[in-house]
A and B are shown apart, each in its own frame.
Chain A
Amino acid sequence: MADENTQDIAHAEDQAPEAAVQEAAPDREAMTAEKPALSDEERLQGLEPDKLRKMMYDMLLARRFEEKVAEAYALGKIGGFCHLYIGQEAVAVGAIHAQTPDDYVMTAYREHVHALQCGVTPGAVMAELYGRADGCSKGKGGSMHMFDAEKNYLGGHGIVGGQIPLALGVAWKIKYRQEERVIQVYCGEAAVNQGAFHESLNMAALWKVPMILIVENNRFGMGTAWERASSLYDIYQKATAYAMPSAVADGMDVLDMYRVTKEAVDRARAGGGPTLIEARTYRFVGHSMSDPVSGVYRTKEDVEKEKGNDPIRIFADLLARQNILSQEELEQMDEEVKRVSEESADFAEKSPEPAVDELYTEIYATEDVNGRLYFDGRR
């Protein structure tokens, strides 16, 4: 793999920019070489049909919800940066199904689906995107900063890699208080080149804290292909520098995500410390709503080819083969999640704008003795 990598980089440098785009996406089979060949039954891991149907529902909801988000964004209902998760649904859905609501989740800015998966209501997520008072951060966070303390959803964080030390701190707290919880923290593949990643991995492994770091490798840090940004292609191997267990998961396969994450969760709960999981996935959309799906750093053909590996289709086919969910039931489910997504938009639409008076609230927890906290004298 290392040799291939070197050749790819050398090759890319010799090419005109158009050709470099062609070379940017390596073969998917090579990327998922570590995935074991399993039968349908083995892939299902004895999971209850209800749980499998719920995973299907969650992925479908994620997809339809975000399609609704894209529509609302195009209509100007949603402002700012807006990073969609379309194509990556299997990652958060599979991984979060592998832990309990008492465990924590923290992520970066591509976070709507993680919030939903933690049980933040679609209405509260959509209202946050609309910047409304009923949003999960009361309209102060927006797309990149959603939080729900009650759901143990510790939010979306906007600085690449900046959330990893925070999650280390949560894992430290779990150990400090001798709780039987774990935290899953997500970052994109580009974050692993940040110092924050390396500092955190070292301490997490040194102190054996229950942190599961899931690197969502969608192959592009904004518009820069991974192989143009990292000297090492296989992210999971970075954990070996810290004597930390690691694994590759097929991020287009919800059951593989579940399997790999469950193992890490079980190990962390048993006191076995942290795990790094590299989830190899692909985003079917641009980096954000302002980035075209293809053309600049990847070709239309690449994207179309990857869409052939749609995680929802892969899982639906398996459930149909195993008589767990028929095509008809899937269609009913799809109608249901479309309705929920529509309702979330209606809810957001009807939610009031936050009162401008709220500008100065919720910044400090405690007033000082003279009520003197803000310098500008406007309060």
Chain B
Amino acid sequence: MAVITYREALNQALAEEMERDPDVFLMGEEVGVYNGAYKVSKGLLEKFGEMRVVDTPITELGFAGLGVGAAMTGVRPVIEFMTWNFAILAFDQIFNSAAKMRSMSGGQFKMPITFRGPTGAALQLAAQHSQALESQVAHYPGVKVVVPGTPADAKGLLKAAIRDDDPVCVFEGEMLYNLKGEVPEDDDFIIPLGVADLKRQGSDVSIITHGKMIHVALQAAAQLEKNGIDAEVLDLRSLRPLDTDAILATVAKTNRVVLLEEGWAFGGITATIAALIQEEAFDHLDAPVLRVTQADVPMPYAKAMERAAKPSVEMVIQKVNQVLYR
């Protein structure tokens, strides 16, 4: 298998799906001439032309809605948001139109659209550019939400998203684009939506997380190993549908859980999973479920404050020790 970056994996996924299906097109700010703000679409304009790699004005609501209308009538748009932070302007179209079209039409319209872009904090981008918003989007039945954490997952999940007949929102880790990893070269390499992945087997405690945070979890697990603690890391990969079976299985296996997400605790993904575990697996628990999330504040700019606001390896280790009563 070739070792490529997360960015290249996404680029391959787009190129392969556009090659395979002439109905697939990419639209967004800077995707064409500029080759993508994060260079995910590099070379695609040259390869597919300007009807299929479309630079838009800076109008998130407008071009997101354009994608939804186009998808209603049979083509398969991939809508790139320069970042999900800007997609907030388009949430009406995602929540009120894309998520509900099939339902409110009594099943008459498919919605084969993919919304994608980077999410989460980068380095000192401050309050408006450092938000992990997947929990908000996953709130809505009718959409699917995936959060790839590795290059292979990025390719397999994006290809699955493009081929899916429902609206799929792909949250790419803004700090992951340069991450390298082995990625299958098969044109039909697909990772099914709704299937979690055990990124690390373990027996003492389960760290359940997604996206960029799997790397925080894996680093924590590596350090915990030195102290004789064998942590399991479950990467959800897909938030909607959620692999509840995999969550309950790891809880039953280790009996101790630390939940980790980049976003805020209030109404967050980890809040939902904690409730699920309490409802479905209470008898398996040997300790309360604990969470690590972003501080409940808008992201500050100053370096030290930013570091303090983000979930860290140290915080995960501390919570693991707590559920192990160490």
A residues contacting B by CB (< 8 A) are 104, 106, 135-141, 145, 147-149, 154-155, 157-159, 162, 164-173, 175-177, 195-196, 199-200, 202-203, 206, 361-366, 368-370, 372-375, 377
Q: How far is the CB of B64 from chain A (nearest CB, A)?
A: 7
The CA-CA distance from A139 to B97 in the complex, in Å, is 18
Tell whether, in the assembled complex, residue B107 and residue A177 are in contact, meaning their CB atoms are under 8 Å apart.
no
B244 at interface, CB cutoff 8 A: yes
Question: B66, B112, B195: which contacts A165 (Cβ < 8 A)?
Answer: B66
A162: which B residues are within 8 A, CB to CB?
65, 92-93, 96-97
- Tell which of A148, A176, A370 touches B245, judged by Cβ atoms closer than 8 Å: A370
Q: Chain B interface residue count: which class?
A: 35 or more
Shortest 6 CB-CB contacts between residues of A and residues of B: A165-B65, A169-B69, A199-B62, A138-B106, A362-B107, A368-B194
| CB neighbors of A among B201-244 (8 A) | 240-244
Nearest B residue to A362, CB-CB: B107
> How many angstroms from the CA of A169 to the CA of B73 in the assembled complex?
9
**Assuming the A-B contacts A169-B70, A176-B70, A202-B62, are A372 and B109 also in contact, with contact meaning beta carbons closer than 8 angstroms in the complex?**
no
> Is B102 close to A, CB under 8 A?
yes
Q: Given A203-B59, A364-B166, A368-B241, do A136 and B106 touch, yes or no (CB 8 Å)?
A: yes
Contact of A169 among B72, B164, B195, B272 (CB under 8 A): B72
Known A-B contacts A170-B70, A176-B25; A372 and B194 likewise in contact (beta carbons under 8 Å) = yes
Q: Tell me how far the C-beta of B138 lies from the nearest C-beta in chain A, rounded to whole angstroms.
A: 9
Closest beta carbon of chain A to B232's beta carbon, Å: 20
Residues of A within 8 A of B242 (CB): 372, 375
Query: Within 8 Å CB of A200, what residues of B?
Result: 62, 65-66
Q: How far is the CA of A162 from the CA of B68 in the complex (A)?
A: 11
User: Quick one: CB contact mask for B59-85 with A, threshold 8 Å, 1 for yes?
Assistant: 101111111111111110100000000
- In the complex, are the beta carbons of A199 and B109 less than 8 A apart? no
**Could you list 14 A-B pairs, sorted by A, with CB under 8 Å?**
A135-B106, A141-B106, A145-B104, A165-B61, A165-B64, A166-B97, A168-B62, A200-B62, A361-B107, A363-B141, A365-B102, A366-B165, A375-B241, A375-B244
Q: Which residues of A contact B10 (CB under 8 A)?
A: none
Contacts of B104 in A (CB 8 A): 137, 140-141, 145, 147, 155
Instruction: Contact check, B67 vs A169: say whether CB atoms are below 8 A apart.
Output: yes
In the assembled complex, the Cα of A199 lies from the Cα of B92 at a distance in Å of: 14
**Residue contact B106 to A173, C-beta cutoff 8 Å:** no
Residues in B whose Cβ lies below 8 Å from that of A136: 106
B61 and A195 form a contact (CB under 8 A): yes
Task: List A contacts of B62 (CB < 8 A).
Answer: 165, 168, 195-196, 199-200, 202-203
Closest to A146 in B: B105
Give the Cβ gap from B160 to chain A, nearest Cβ, in Å: 10
- Which of A165, A168, A195 has the most chain B CB atoms closer than 10 A to its own CB? A165
Q: If the complex has contacts A203-B56, A369-B192, are A166 and B102 also in contact, measured as CB distance less than 8 A?
A: no
**How far is it, in angstroms, between the C-alpha of A177 and the C-alpha of B65 when the chains are bound?**
18
Closest to A147 in B: B105
**Contacts A203-B56, A365-B111 hold; do A166 and B106 have CB atoms under 8 A apart?**
no
A364: which of B57, B69, B105, B142 is its contact (CB, 8 Å)? B142
How many Å from the CB of A165 to the closest CB on chain B?
Answer: 2
The smallest C-beta distance from A321 to any residue of chain B, in angstroms, reads 42
Q: Give chain A residues whose Cβ lies under 8 Å from the Cβ of B142.
A: 363-364
A203 and B272 contact, CB distance less than 8 A: no
Chain B positions within 8 Å of A, measured between CB atoms, are 25, 51, 56-57, 59, 61-75, 77, 92-93, 96-97, 102-112, 141-142, 144, 164-166, 192-195, 240-245, 272
When the two chains form the complex, which single residue of A104, A139, A195 contacts B73, counting CB atoms closer than 8 Å? A104
Residues of chain A within 8 A of B93, CB atoms compared: 162, 165-166
The answer to whether A365 and B110 touch across the interface, beta carbons within 8 angstroms, is yes
Q: Is the CB of A373 within 8 A of B241?
A: yes
Chain B hits for A140, CB < 8 A: 103-106
Residues of B within 8 A of A165 (CB): 61-66, 68-69, 93
Asked if A368 meets B73 with Cβ closer than 8 Å, knowing A147-B105, A162-B93, A169-B68, the reply is no
Q: Which residues of A contact B69 (CB under 8 A)?
A: 106, 154, 165-173
Could you tell me the distance between the alpha carbons of A176 and B185 in the complex, rounded to whole angstroms?
30
Q: How far apart are the CA atoms of A175 and B70 in the complex, in Å?
A: 10
CA A374 to CA B240, docked complex, whole Å: 8
A366 with B164, Cβ < 8 A, contacts A104-B73, A159-B96, A200-B65 known: yes
Which of chain A's residues have a CB closer than 8 A to the CB of B103?
A: 140, 362-363
Residues of B within 8 A of A137 (CB): 104-106, 108
One of B64, B75, B109, B194 near A149 (C-beta < 8 A):
B109
B166 touches which of A154, A203, A206, A366 (Cβ 8 Å): A366
Q: Find out whether the CB atom of A155 lies under 8 angstroms from the CB atom of B105.
A: yes
CB proximity of B80 to chain A, nearest CB, Å: 15
Q: For residue B141, which residues in chain A have a CB less than 8 angstroms away from its CB?
A: 363, 374-375
In the complex, the answer to whether B61 meets A173 with C-beta atoms within 8 Å is no
Q: Are B57 and A206 in contact (CB under 8 A)?
A: yes
Please, how many angstroms separate the alpha-carbon atoms of A363 and B71 in the complex? 15
CB of A355, distance to nearest CB on chain B (Å) = 13
For B165, list chain A residues within 8 Å (CB). 365-366
Q: Which residues of B contact A106 (CB under 8 A)?
A: 69
CA distance A236 to B301 in the complex (A): 46
Cα–Cα, bound, A158→B242 (Å): 29
Cα distance A148–B106 in the bound complex, in angstroms = 9
- Given contact pairs A168-B69, A362-B107, A372-B244, enumerate 5 new A-B contacts (beta carbons under 8 Å): A166-B65, A169-B77, A172-B70, A364-B144, A369-B194
Beyond A365-B165, A368-B192, whether A172 also contacts B66 by CB under 8 A is yes
A375 / chain B contacts, CB cutoff of 8 Å: 141, 240-242, 244, 272
Complex-state Cα separation, A170 to B101, whole angstroms = 14
A305 to B65, alpha carbons, bound, how many Å? 40
Residues of B within 8 Å of A374, CB to CB, are 141, 241
Min CB–CB distance B284 → chain A (angstroms) = 17
CA A213 to CA B107, docked complex, whole Å? 26
